[in-house]
Chain A
């Protein structure tokens, strides 16, 4: 039974390795990858239901008991993120078939793609800090492959920056784990939490916590460390941008959420720091989004304020705010993937990514236009859609705890986010049709509608999803549940 936990990691890894044999047979690779993701979606959904009903599920790999072996922990948060990851990956896969050129597809695209899913799933499931590092490297290696795949000049330039930044933060990660190991003598997260709790969070442990935060903040693109993100995410082909925008930075946020709700919760310095950084991240990210006319870059910049909102929830640190962060995380993964795919379709339709040269898509592409409108409203958080619930919980908890300034900053940021995406709507969709407008194949709109539908369901069906999110938040606020289920007592 407990082997079920490894399935979302194992299946993409296995199939990714098998697909190395058939890299030239695109149709076969497409069919196999689609089946793999469908199986993955159903198995992780089953895992989600199982965890909701029966509590956290643990896999002790190789039959070694908790602090000694590598532990995989499927708790509420991890399974929820797994299901979302696989759904997004499925939509991106459907988009790939019509949008990516066959040369890229033949050059091991599907292997890289599945390895990326392996790395992301592994990072969500692992219960061991060093193993988290290894899965970070798995997903980063796959993303290096994807970002440079095709080898255009711009891709080479941006991938150099991307690889350098990530190598440096990975080195810092290893050094920090070494520090932590020399202080506590373990890398198992549950045992770490127990030991840090026993000695209280002394000065050296807070230092290590902040170092670890710097690592995850680089991966997750927070205020002083986000400068690498917008360019390198907007350069590769649309599908790859969508995968990166939806999954990679969110693994950084997940790691911060996990480490700072489980291990380092005894010193409020870190959480005060988060509030400050959340504010700066929101304001500067959205200013970037307003500063450019490249529509893909606008969406890439919009990743940053969303990360700020999630950090706000982790900084305030009450059950409501953590629930808000989790809900906002789920919503943002879906809506960022949808927006990147939509912008890709708009670029195909108008033949340019410059906002000033496009216009009038409403007349020629009504479905695409309205899908974009819904996705834009969802991003901002207009009530019936999914962005609203997460933001409401976050701002409510901020007001309750007396963080008035940050809550107002959040509201103003929302307004500016609305402005940045409505600029795309006004520029590309209203106005006179430009003669360069081309037809977009309907098969490209299918995965986009899938994602938009999912985000509408997240919003309208918030009533049904919220109890689960609430349970996840309660588990996160009280780490004793996690520690007990891993260490069994």
Chain B
């Protein structure tokens, strides 16, 4: 029997706009972490929320064609980024996880403080996205397999 397909045009159209807003907000949260509430964890969760919204609107098949990276790889990348930040201090003969910062002149932004703690946060950010997406996609995948088995 052919399943009756609902036409979710409104959901898809609003998602294309809202997903960008959520993504921008999540990156803002991620960057604000040093001096304001936010950071890698909540930033990663928000980004994952944006991606989940895309999955809900467009379905797993379409999204698999867009995102080639598997979410487990993202966990490994995030972990390695965080560990590498810790190990980086070995090069300067400092104890593990020693962080440093400096003031840089960036185009458009002007004088800006950049800290290596940011790189560690980037690792957290990737790991959180990877873990969240792995959990959600694994559960969703199971359901799809069961459906296809049932016919």
- Chain A residues packing against B (C-beta within 8 Å): 2-3, 6, 10, 13-14, 17-18, 20-21, 59-63
Contacts and interface: CB of A to CB of B under 8 A. Distances in A.
B83 A59 contact: no
A13 B73 contact: no
Contacts of A21: 73, 76
Given A10-B83, A10-B87, A13-B83, A61 B76 contact: no
A6 B86 CA distance: 11
Nearest to B94: A63
A294 to B, nearest CB: 33
A68 to B, nearest CB: 13
Contacts of B83: 10, 13-14, 17
A62 B92 CA distance: 12
Nearest to A17: B79
A63 B98 contact: yes
Given A20-B76, A21-B73, 6 more contacts: A3-B90, A17-B76, A18-B80, A20-B73, A62-B99, A63-B98
A20 B72 contact: yes
A61 B87 CA distance: 11
A17 B81 CA distance: 10
B75 A61 contact: no
16 contacts: A3-B90, A6-B96, A10-B83, A14-B87, A17-B79, A17-B80, A18-B76, A18-B80, A20-B76, A20-B79, A21-B73, A21-B76, A61-B96, A61-B97, A62-B98, A63-B98
Secondary structure of the B side of the interface? helix
A62 B79 CA distance: 18
B95 interface: yes
Interface in B93-111: 94-99
Contacts of B99: 62
Contact of A62 (B75, B80, B90, B97): B97
B80 A2 contact: no
A14 B80 CA distance: 7
B139 to A, nearest CB: 15
A20 B74 CA distance: 10
A3 B88 CA distance: 12
A163 to B, nearest CB: 16
A10 B95 CA distance: 13
A71 to B, nearest CB: 10
A115 to B, nearest CB: 10
B41 to A, nearest CB: 15
Nearest to B74: A20
Contacts of B96: 3, 6, 10, 59, 61-62
A63 B75 contact: no
Contacts of B80: 14, 17-18
A10 B87 CA distance: 9
Contacts of B72: 20
- Residue of B87, B90, B95 ringed by the most chain A CB atoms within 10 A: B95
A17 B87 CA distance: 14
Contacts of B79: 13, 17, 20
A3 B73 contact: no
A61 B73 contact: no
